Chain A
Amino acid sequence: MTHFTAVLLFALFASIVFGITQRETPRRMIRYGIYCFVLFSGAAIALSWLMFLIAR
């Protein structure tokens, strides 16, 4: 398992739980879950690029 796969799995599982527990209707749960997943994954990619550029 690569580090990125681990990040995606982490984001997926956490987003599912956040979506279900933090919103009331199924539609809003799905939307919030997707929102959390994008934020988790996007933040990981952005921070990875930042660290890569700093380390150069």
Chain B
Amino acid sequence: MATPDSKIAATGQGSQSGSQTGFVYLPLLAGWLVPGAGHFLLRKWGRGALLSASILGMFVLGLAMQGKVYSNAHDILDILGLAGDLGSGLLYIVSRVLGLGADQVQVTTADYGTRFIVVAGLLNVIAAVDAHNLRTGRKA
């Protein structure tokens, strides 16, 4: 019969010590730069694919609705929007380089699109932190 200590070693500690090797923040950084990449690095293929599809889908729909991609901040709301957009990582950088998205909100759906882009960034941050928690063993 297994003792409590050996059970811990078989369940929590074993997987945790196995995941402690290497750069512990790699899934966090990868997940922030590319949606779902943090989970892919941890071989959570299904979760990574769903997260990637959701975040990418939300970002692309935001752009398709002519949402605004924040480039500078003039007031507190712009700062918050810019912070949300930056959560998308490379998606934000690529969209800025390619000049995607609107500079000004001109149609009704663009307001929704702007929110879609901001929320995609915020969801990406949540997903990256989740990958970090998986990496450190805080989450199974």
Q: Is the interface of B mostly helix, strand, loop or mixed?
A: helix
Determine if B130 and A21 form an interchain contact, defined as CB atoms under 8 angstroms apart: yes
Q: Choose from A1, A3, A13, A18 the contact partner of B58 (Cβ within 8 Å).
A: A13
Chain A interface residue count, CB cutoff 8 Å, equals 14
Determine if A9 and B130 form an interchain contact, defined as CB atoms under 8 angstroms apart: no
Given A3-B112, A20-B50, A24-B140, A10–B127 Cβ distance below 8 Å? Answer: no
Determine if A17 and B109 form an interchain contact, defined as CB atoms under 8 angstroms apart: no
Determine if B140 and A20 form an interchain contact, defined as CB atoms under 8 angstroms apart: no
Q: Which residues of A contact B129 (CB under 8 A)?
A: 21
Interface residue ranges of A2-35 to B (CB < 8 Å):
3, 6, 9-10, 12-14, 16-18, 20-21, 24
Given A20-B47, A21-B126, A13–B57 Cβ distance below 8 Å? Answer: yes
Q: Choose from B55, B126, B130, B139 the contact partner of A13 (Cβ within 8 Å).
A: B55
Determine if A17 and B127 form an interchain contact, defined as CB atoms under 8 angstroms apart: yes
Determine if B54 and A16 form an interchain contact, defined as CB atoms under 8 angstroms apart: yes
B63 CB, nearest partner CB in chain A, Å: 13
C-beta contact mask, B41-67 vs A, less than 8 Å → 1, else 0? 000000100110011011001000100
Determine if A17 and B54 form an interchain contact, defined as CB atoms under 8 angstroms apart: yes
**Residue from the set A10, A12, A16, A21 with the largest chain B CB neighbour count within 10 Å:** A21
Tell me the B residues contacting A by CB distance below 8 Å: 47, 50-51, 54-55, 57-58, 61, 65, 109, 112, 115-116, 119-120, 123, 126-127, 129-130, 139-140
